[in-house]
Amino acid sequence: MAFFVAESKDQSQSEDVEDRLDLSLIAIGKKIGLDFSEINELRSSDLLELAKRYMGANDDTPREATQADIDRFFG
């Protein structure tokens, strides 16, 4: 399975990086520690579900910060 890459693009139609879903999904996969081959094997919905579970976002209630969270924030 390969990613689709447009052949050419007009410079006047430049897109913001925030509007690029493909780049956002790759960034999410890399942040949770996947390599490109692992990201490539997942569907978009599976990658998002994995990221939610990895980050512990099964519910909408905020969790209490641990000392490791505080060290990571200030470190």
pTM of the model: 0.52
Residue with tokens 């447009």: 6
pLDDT at position 70 is: 94
What single-letter DSSP state applies at residue 33? T
Which of 42-46, 59-63, 65-69 shows the lowest per-residue confidence on average (mean pLDDT)? Answer: 59-63
pLDDT at position 5 is: 72
The 10s digit of each residue's pLDDT in 19-42 is 899 999 999 999 999 999 999 999
pLDDT at position 58 is: 58
Mean pLDDT of 11-16: 52
Instruction: Copy the structure tokens of residue 32.
Output: 């949770």
